Amino acid sequence: MVSGGDFTLKRLAAVDLIFQISELRHRAPKYPFLCSETARGSAFSQYISRDWFRLMANNIQTRTARGLLAAGLAACAITVACSGNAGQNPKAGGPGAMPVKILEARAVPVHDATEYVATLKSRDSAIIMPQVEGQITEILVHSGERVEGGSPIVEIDPLKQQATVKSQEGARAAQEANLSWTKQQYQRAQGLAGAGVISKQDLEQAKTAMDAAQAQMDALNAQVREQEVQLHYYKVVALRSGIVGDIPVHVGDRVTTTTVLTTIDQPGSLEAYVYVPIEHSSQLKMNLPVQIIDSDGKVLADSKVSFISPQVDNTTQTVLVKARIANGNDALRQSQFVRARVVWGTHQNPQVPMLAVSRLAGQYFAFVAEPQNG
């Protein structure tokens, strides 16, 4: 006879074993051998049939507490048997590895460079300003026109200056008459002095009057020439050959000697003004490579540092660096903003495609392919 306490213990053990086996079935996604049709048709049917459960329950009821260990071993046998069957079924495994394309990372020269915003300025650009004040009466060129040196550009009203020149010429004519009279007086005085009619002092006074008239005549001649030159400035001309820039003034505007009329630029000769922060000033040196690039990163021109300012801009705390640009195809323009890449140095680095780089935890990684058995 089995006591009530022993029977209850053994019954609970049997229920616990059945529960564990049921747990295995509920965990089918974790244990593929319980999911496959083959496992349910062969191994599972062989070891976990209804008659087998009934037999296990009867054995537990008729055995002592030592039967609990045997039941546990039986459950392990079920797992091993199902695992062996599942290993023989190729469809029971997880998804296979995804094929990827393998490329060799080759060492290529990489520039250690920094990009800055630069301004292009013409090395042969002339700012045209008048040398006289007045009102513009005519503009003889238009923006973008190519002109030769000496060609008239703007004409300023010359009427007032012309009147000044005429007035000076009138004064010169009067002085010419006075000079002629003093010369005649001196010649007469020479004759009278030779005859002893006048004294030597009178002769010297006549000569002094003639010399004074001559000096005044020379001064008037200089004034007339000055006014004539000044009149020439009322017609502003191009000092060199080139292309006329923007003309901000209009006919009728009053201009002074500080008014900008236009500019004359010679294409093909530009200079990049690059402002480098003072933190990189120690790396600056002459003939350092400089590349002018567009918004797409395409190199428009190659150059070298031709000037390093010895002073630091007090406002921006930058150092001015200049680089001469050959602009033979006129792709660049005066006062144009461009990106300037200053190349500090070049070194060899492996290069990999962008799609091969992954970002994990804020860091960039590239996976390396190795032999399967290695």
Average pLDDT, stretch 316-320? Answer: 94
Angular region, 236: left φ>0, alpha ψ -120 to 50, beta rest: beta
Write out pLDDT tens, residues 65-77.
455 455 454 544 4
Q: Scan for tokens 């349910």, then name that residue.
A: 40
Q: Which helix (H) or strand (E) holds 275?
A: strand 269-277
Question: Residue 353 — φ and ψ, nearest 5°?
Answer: -65, 155
260-269 residue pLDDT tens: 999 998 877 7
- Residue 29's pLDDT is 46
Task: Report pLDDT digits (tens) over 218-243.
Answer: 999 999 999 999 999 999 999 888 88
pLDDT of residue 67: 52
Residue 47, pLDDT above cutoff 50: no
| Dist CA 264 CA 241 (whole Å) | 7
Structure tokens of 33?
A: 């051998």
Counting residues of the chain whose pLDDT is more than 70, the rounded percentage is 73
| CA–CA separation, 252 and 344 (whole Å) | 54
Above 90 in pLDDT, residue 9? no
List the structure tokens of 99: 């094929």
Kindly report the CATH number that applies to the domain delimited by 115-122+266-366: 2.40.30.170
Q: Which residue has tokens 């006919």? A: 251
Whether residue 253 is predicted with pLDDT greater than 80 in this model: the reply is: yes
| pTM confidence score | 0.52
Please, what is the average pLDDT of the chain? 79
The pLDDT, as a whole number, for residue 105 is 83
- The per-residue pLDDT for 7 is 43
